[in-house]
Amino acid sequence: MICNFSQVMSIDRLVKDAQVVAVVCNQWGDTGKGKFSDYLGANWADVIIRGTGGANAGHTVKVGDLWRVFHLLPSGIMEDANGKTNILGQGMEIHLETLLEEMDEVARNGGTFDNFYISDKAQIVFNHHIEYDKQRHMSMANGGIGSTGRGIGPAYEDRTGRRGVEMGLLCDPVALRERLEKQAKKYDFDVSEVMRKIEPFAQRLVPYIRDTFTLVHEKKEAGKKILLEGAQGLLLSVNDGSYPYVTSSDPSLDGTAKGAGLSAKDVDLCLGIVKFPFMTRVGGGPFPTEIGGHASEAYCASEPTLLQELEAFGIPYKGKKYNSHDPRITELINSPHPFFRGVGLRLLSVEYGATTGRARRVGWIDAVAGRYARRINGPDVILTKVDIGSHLGEIQLCDGYEIDGHITQNFKSNPRFLYGVEPHFATFDGYGDVRGIDEYKGLPSQLHRIIAEYERLTGSNVAALSVGPDRDETIIR
């Protein structure tokens, strides 16, 4: 892709002289990292690496003329033919068949894989992991945490249990069998049968497997520009998130760098993505600023889908398409009842999981969680979905948590604390329309005020804003 002069100028303003940039999510996932990974992947980076998670992530990539949701391939994959290197790093858990399906889709649309590599230390998600995950963790109705059912948790359990199968073992059938025998003791499957089934996938993937640790460091030492593409979100981190309501990887800056074969000290700029002025969470677990509180949480635990909500609230639709500005949605957003306001905001912003289709829970922007994220991922943030806030007459910014009669600005990740706090809000009038505005000083002064308060409370620095889904609907400050 050839980028125009103004894109180059604004990217330079955003990344300055950084050589290694990470794009991570500072909330509970689904903040729109993809737009910025795509933007930097296509127009700036030489090397694009994903280092954590697996097919539990969902990322929309333009393939040919169509937008496709990919779960594994890095965002720069369509740039392979232009010489960009794409890597699935050592921290990833990869389901072979899913990866090949995505690769086939890219190839059908003229994409290439000449500079694509898979770490020999990334590990494999098998179908027995997926079955186990679906039975144990997927259904919130049955006491699960609402996992995405992609086998990620069980595969990481095997990694730490020293039973995991590294991609490199696909080249060594004896070692592969030995490792699978260890897994078979836990999941009870026929090792020969699994080896026979994965054989054709392995044959196709082996040419891409290599020591990407050395490759990444060689690229870095050669001065190549490297983009680390985060997955999930900080508050879902197994180390820093609302444990046990978390994913099984560490999507923080540290985890993202480690999963790519680097360390946080190698990263010159970490951009933390923040949905603003509302945020979302999918799956079970605490969410202090949830609009509609426990009623919304219980309703979302029944995992309504988009179509069910459209039916339930009488919104006309065709296929999965509907008018997000339908008067019935506007009515919901302005409802005096927070539960309905939450449903309205979800429909307006189309907050349904890219991987599972589940309704995302919706809450107000939380500066306490934002301050926590700044302490871990650093000060630079990008605000996304700011255009959605244009439709809100009133914005609530959580500026503290009330607990035991006092207010704290310190986030603690344990659910007992998070379920026990009462969010304290500062209320602002709405800021009006922002679409079509292309420079920071042109934004409404009311939005400037809300952003300044968020920066003050969290200690962060807003580097850019997204005011619409298109790449050029981005304001670099």
> Please, are residues 21 and 49 in contact by the beta-carbon 8 Å criterion?
no
CB-nearer residue toward ligand IMP: 15 or 55: 55
- Work out which of 118, 282, 392, 467 binds ligand IMP, going by CB under 6 A: 282
Give the residue closest to ligand IMP by C-beta: 283
* Nearest distance in Å: CB 146, ligand IMP: 5
Give the span between the Cα atoms of 33 and 23, in whole angstroms. 7
Cβ–Cβ under 8 Å, residues 473 and 387: yes
| Residue 339 backbone phi and psi in degrees, to 5 | -55, -45
Which residue lies nearer to ligand IMP by CB, 152 or 465? Answer: 152
Residue with tokens 């919104």: 315
| Residue list 143-182, contact with ligand IMP (CB under 6 A) | 145-148, 150, 152-153
DSSP state of 70: E
Which of 59, 95, 128, 391 is the catalytic position?
Answer: 59
248 binds ligand IMP (CB under 6 A): yes
In the numeric block, which tokens belong to residue 445?
């002064």
Site string for ligand IMP, 361-380 (x = CB under 6 A): --------------------
Among 26, 27, 37, 56, binds ligand IMP (CB under 6 A): 56
According to CB under 6 A, which residues from 109 to 148 bind ligand IMP?
Answer: 145-148
Residue 32 CA, chain-centre distance (Å), reads: 7
Contacting ligand IMP (CB under 6 A), which of 7, 10, 23, 29? 29
Spatial contact of 333 and 325, defined as CB atoms under 8 Å apart: no
Beta carbon nearer to ligand IMP, 115 or 355: 355
Kindly provide the residue ranges of all beta strands, DSSP E only, lying in 52-115, ordered along the sequence: 59-63, 66-70, 85-88, 93-95
In what helix (H) or strand (E) does residue 195 lie, and over which residues does it extend? helix 191-205
- The two tokens of residue 49 are 């690496």
3-state helix, strand, coil in the chain (%, to 5): 40, 20, 35
Binding mask 74-103 for ligand IMP (x = CB under 6 A): ------------------------------
Query: Is 30 one of the binding residues for ligand IMP (CB under 6 A)?
Result: yes
Give the interface segment with ligand IMP, choosing from 6-14, 53-61, 255-263, 465-473 (CB under 6 A): 53-61
Size of the site for ligand IMP (CB under 6 A): 18
> Given the complex with ligand IMP, which of 168 and 288 has the nearer CB atom?
288
Residue 38 in tokens = 């795509």
Question: How far apart are CB 220 and ligand IMP at their closest, in Å?
Answer: 27
- Strands 93-95 and 59-63, how do they pair? unpaired
The least distance separating ligand IMP from the CB of residue 246, rounded to whole angstroms, comes to 6
Given the residues 30, 46, 240, 250, the one annotated as active site: 30
* 104 given a catalytic annotation: no
Binding mask 192-231 for ligand IMP (x = CB under 6 A): ----------------------------------------
Least Å distance, CB 226 to ligand IMP, is: 22
30 is catalytic: yes
For residue 355, which of 146, 125, 210, 195 has the smallest C-alpha distance? 146
Residue 313: both structure tokens together: 């609230």
Can you tell me which of 75, 232, 413, 466 binds ligand IMP, judged by CB under 6 A? 232
- The tokens for 461 are 């620095």
Task: Check binding of 247 to ligand IMP (CB under 6 A).
Answer: yes
Q: How far apart are CA 139 and CA 152, in angstroms?
A: 15
Rounded to whole angstroms, the Cα distance separating 210 from 191 reads 25
CA–chain centroid gap for 386, Å, is: 17
Residue 157 or 266 with smaller CB distance to ligand IMP:
157
Rounded Cα–Cα distance for residues 88 and 441 (Å): 39
- Sole residue written with tokens 């086939």: 104
Of the chain, the end-to-end C-alpha distance in Å amounts to 24
Minimum CB separation of residue 277 from ligand IMP in Å reads 19
Q: Which is nearer to ligand IMP, 82 or 308 (CB)?
A: 308
Beta-carbon count within 10 A of 66 CB: 9
Structure tokens at 351: 């907050």
Nearest CB to ligand IMP, comparing residues 29 and 111: 29
Distance from C-alpha of 239 to C-alpha of 184, rounded to nearest angstrom: 28
State the nearest-atom distance from the C-beta of 98 to ligand IMP, in Å: 13
The region of 50-58, 214-222, 311-319, 452-460 touching ligand IMP under the rule CB under 6 A is: 50-58
Q: Which is nearer to ligand IMP, 91 or 153 (CB)?
A: 153
Q: Which is nearer to ligand IMP, 233 or 400 (CB)?
A: 233
Quote the least distance from Cβ 39 to ligand IMP, whole Å.
19
> Which 3 state secondary structure label does DSSP give 274?
strand
**Least distance in angstroms from the C-beta of 178 to ligand IMP:** 27
Q: What per-residue string of b and e applies to 8-31 under the rule 16 or more CB within 10 Å gives b?
A: eebbeebbeebebbbbbbbbbbbb
CB of 129 to ligand IMP, least distance (A): 10
**Torsion 396-398-400-404 (CA) sign:** positive
Query: Binding residues for ligand IMP, per CB under 6 A?
Result: 29-30, 56-58, 145-148, 150, 152-153, 232, 236, 247-248, 282-283
Which residues are designated catalytic? 30, 59
